[in-house]
């Protein structure tokens, strides 16, 4: 009986260790929601996406929710990035697929919500960028 418990404990510990290593290897991004999207750039009809804009801390520090929403809308304006004469080095943001766990708990995203996104895989270079391998989206603040 003791040998069986030791084996089960060793297997559970190994599974936990593999999970921790996998989770640590995920990429993460913190940003602000621009919009939740029904249209799907991936061609799959049954998924939802969110468009997230990354803002520098000095752009949001001490600002009200309305001021953050205004900054998010300005940053997400893709027409600025399509202008050949533009010297703007920012990004209009990235579209992330809402992962299964967030769909199951019915997480609602609104413009200006601060989120932390854990993802894996490649980024499709488009305007805005697109990431298919989203693992988890956590609301982190105002």
> Which band of pLDDT confidence, cut at 50, 70 and 90, is reported for residue 10?
very high
> Are the beta carbons of 58 and 98 closer than 8 angstroms?
no
So what's the pLDDT on residue 78? 66
pTM given for the model = 0.76
> Among 36, 32, 30, 29, which residue's Cα sits nearest to residue 142?
32
C-alpha 99/C-alpha 132 separation (Å) is 9
So what's the pLDDT on residue 7? 93
Other CB atoms within 10 Å distance of the CB of residue 11: 10
Q: What is the dihedral of CA 115, 80, 40, 103, to 10 degrees?
A: 10
Note the pLDDT tens digit of each residue in 71-85.
888 888 866 666 665
Strands (E), 39-128: 49-53, 94-97, 114-124
């Amino acid at each position: 009986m003791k040998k069986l418990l030791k084996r089960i404990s060793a297997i559970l510990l190994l599974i936990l260790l593999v999970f921790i290593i996998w989770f640590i290897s995920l990429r993460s991004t913190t940003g602000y929601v621009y919009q939740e999207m029904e249209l799907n750039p991936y061609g799959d009809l049954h998924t939802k996406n969110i468009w997230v804009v990354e803002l520098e801390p000095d752009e949001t520090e001490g600002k009200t929710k309305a001021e953050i929403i205004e900054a998010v809308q300005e940053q997400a304006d893709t027409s600025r990035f399509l202008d050949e004469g533009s010297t703007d080095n920012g990004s209009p943001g990235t579209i992330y697929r809402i992962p299964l766990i967030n769909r199951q708990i019915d997480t609602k995203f609104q413009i200006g919500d601060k989120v932390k996104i854990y993802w894996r895989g490649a980024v499709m270079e488009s305007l805005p960028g697109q990431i298919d391998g989203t693992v988890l989206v956590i609301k982190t603040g105002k």
